Structure formats: structure tokens, C-alpha cells
A and B are shown apart, each in its own frame.
Chain A
Amino acid sequence: MAQYIALVQGYMAFGIGLIIGLGALGACIGIGIMGSKFLESAARQPELIPQLQKFMFLLAGLIDAAFLIGVGIAMFFGFANPLLSAVK
């Protein structure tokens, strides 16, 4: 019995790490690409910086969305694991 619980918990820890890590990877690369384009266009046309900044914040929130949803789900599995309660 304890072995089943240990199995589920072991794999779950691995899974949580993957969810958060891969999500962070995608989100950071996305923000990096977007930020670099923003800086390029800000250098070309400084008078557009306020408008572009507004869109940049909007895009940052959208890019972070899937990552933070993943963090929420991973944390949920970390503390109130339904797979574990099924074994118990």
C-alpha cells in the first residue's frame, strides 16, 4: 500500500517539475522574442513607444497565461492530489 502511494508521489513530483519547467521555458522564450521586437521598433520609432508599450503589457499577460495555468494545476496536484486519494 505504501509502495503504491510512494509510486504515485514519485511520478507526481517528476510531473510537477516538468509542467512548471517546460511552461517557464516557453513563456520566457516568448517574452524574450516579443521584448526584442519591441526594443527594435522602439529604437526605430521612439514616438510610438507609449502605444507599443500598452500592447507589450497586454501580450506579456497573454503569454504568461498558459504558463500560470500550468503552475496552478501543478500546485493543485502538489497539495490536493486526486490521483493519490484514489489510491488511498
Chain B
Amino acid sequence: MASGYETPSEYISHHLSNLKITVGEGGFWTVNIDTVIMSWLLGLVGLGAFWLVARGATTGVPGKLQSFIEMMVEFVDNTVKDVFPGDRKFLAPLALTIFVWVFMFNAMDLLPIDWVATVTGALGLHNWKAVPSTDLSATFAMSFTVFFLTLFFSFKAKGVGGFFHELFTAPFGGHPALWIPNLVLNIIELLAKPISLGMRLFGNMYAGELVFMLLGLLGMIASLSMGGLVAGAAAGVLTWAWAVFHILIIILQAFIFMVLSAVYIAMAHEHH
């Protein structure tokens, strides 16, 4: 696999860049087409599996797949119930979708990047990144969607006028001199939530993928010398250990994304 790459940094920057297509003028209209295709495929597979099981569900003794799906649904439902005591007919399915979809994104990180690169290279696509959550566009898309949902529910719960009233008068008070500090604090709070949500997922997955690549580079020198052999063996062990740790991180980050989305939408229903 070291053939075809001139230097280690070329290997890494080749694997860290997305496949882009341009649909218009300028940088804004450059689409990371690999992220788009991967996220659609993973959505179809992950959520389609849930839909298929729900269609053929039995009330008798359930099979293994149905029990697993029921466990997941109950887990998400209990988590949302803890966070939001109101009517969760919309929030719990949203949380389940977020959890399953983000987990499928993250799980792609366990595929060896060189295998993915060989397969997609044979199809003629270079720079194909298999993990959509290592693309800032994908994670920000999800977190800003949650942000717009938060705004929508705020409008629904407090009314548009009530929302703007609260924007200027919470948390310090209604005196006109406090309007600017209130507004500044509220805008910072409103913006910090989606940005931190998106960046947390991106940072975790990007760093994880980068460590895999660096350990792979360490293993590439195994064929060169005796010291290289030791380094190669160390790289193998470290890669295994990091992969095991990463399995925990994958599930944890999907869970955190789901819980925080539910908490933000629940907080939008509150009045002051």
C-alpha cells in the first residue's frame, strides 16, 4: 500500500481530503460528494433495517433482530422521557433517528482506510472518505437542523413575540439598559449549542481517523529493517488497542449527540 505515495504527509493528506464536485461558482457550491452518498447509503441501511423490522413485527415471542430493535427503541424512549416529560411523539423518533444515523456514520471508521481506498480506487473514485462524520459539513448539517428545530419549538411554545421578548429580557431583567447585555448573552448561548454539538462529533471522529492513519504509517516501515519490524509489531498492537477504545467512543459520541439534541429541544419548551 506504500506504493503510489511519495511521502507520509502525502499519504495522510490524500486520505484526509474528500472527493469534491462543483455544482456552481465558488467554494460554497463545492459538494463533498462522498459524504453525501455515504450518508444516504448508511441512512437507507440503518433506518431501513428498523423500518423492515417494524413492518414485520409480531406481538408473540419476538425473534433476535426484533428484540434488539425493541431494546434500542426502549432505551432511546427512556432517555428522552428522563429529559422531556411532555409529549414526546416527535422528539423520541427524532432522537432514535439521530442515534442510529450518527452511530452508522461513526461505525464506518472501523473499516480499514486502505481497503476502502482500494475498492473505490478500482471504481475510479479517488479521495473517497468513508466516514461522513469526519466531514464538518455533515456534522454541522445535523446540529444546525437541531438548532432550527429548537427555534421552531421555541416559537411554538412562547410565540414569536414572546421569543423575542425573552431574547432581550432574560436572564438579567427587563430594564432597557440591560437589553444589549441580555441580547449578547442570549445570542452566544444560542450559537454555542449547535457549533459545539457539531464540532464535538467532528473532532472526535477526525482525531480517531488520524490516529489510525498515523499508526498505519508506523506499521508501513515494518518491512524495512529489524527496528522497523519491532515498530510494525508495536503498530499492530496499538492499532488494535485504539480500535477497541474507538468502539466505545463511537457509541458514546452517538449517545451524546442524541441526548444533547433532546435536551436542547426540551429546553426550548421552557418558559422563564
Contacts and interface: CB of A to CB of B under 8 A. Distances in A.
A70 B9 CA distance: 20
A71 B207 contact: yes
B10 to A, nearest CB: 10
A21 B199 CA distance: 19
Interface stretch (A10-18, A29-37, A39-47, A57-65): A57-65
Main secondary structure of the interface of B (DSSP, over half): helix
B259 interface: yes
Interface residues of A, number: 16
Main secondary structure of the interface of A (DSSP, over half): helix
Given A79-B12, A80-B13, A80-B16, A65 B210 contact: no
A58 B207 contact: no
Contacts of A79: 9, 12-13, 16
B117 to A, nearest CB: 17
Interface string A70-85: 1111010001100000
B252 A68 contact: no
A69 to B, nearest CB: 4
A72 B206 contact: yes
B196 interface: yes
Contacts of A75: 206-207, 210
A72 B198 CA distance: 13
A79 B256 CA distance: 29
Contacts of A57: 252, 255
A41 B203 CA distance: 31
B92 to A, nearest CB: 17
A72 B13 CA distance: 14
| Residues of B in contact with A, size category | 10 to 19
Contacts of A61: 200, 252-253, 255-256
A71 B255 CA distance: 21
Contact of B259 (A58, A65, A72, A73): A58
Of residues A57, A68, A73, which shows the largest number of chain B Cβ atoms within 10 Å of its Cβ? Answer: A68
B255 A58 contact: yes
Given A79-B12, A80-B13, A64 B204 contact: yes
A80 B200 CA distance: 21
A57 B199 CA distance: 18
A35 B200 CA distance: 21
Contacts of B210: 71-72, 75
B202 interface: yes
B54 to A, nearest CB: 26
A65 B207 contact: no
Contacts of B259: 58
B255 A69 contact: no
Contacts of B204: 64-65, 68
Contacts of B256: 58, 61-62
13 contacts: A61-B253, A62-B256, A65-B196, A65-B200, A68-B203, A69-B200, A70-B203, A71-B203, A72-B207, A72-B210, A75-B210, A79-B13, A80-B13
Interface of B: 9, 12-13, 16, 196, 199-200, 202-204, 206-207, 210, 252-253, 255-256, 259
Interface of A: 57-58, 60-62, 64-65, 68-73, 75, 79-80
Q: Which 8 A-B pairs have the closest CB atoms?
A: A69-B203, A65-B200, A68-B203, A61-B256, A72-B203, A71-B207, A72-B206, A75-B210
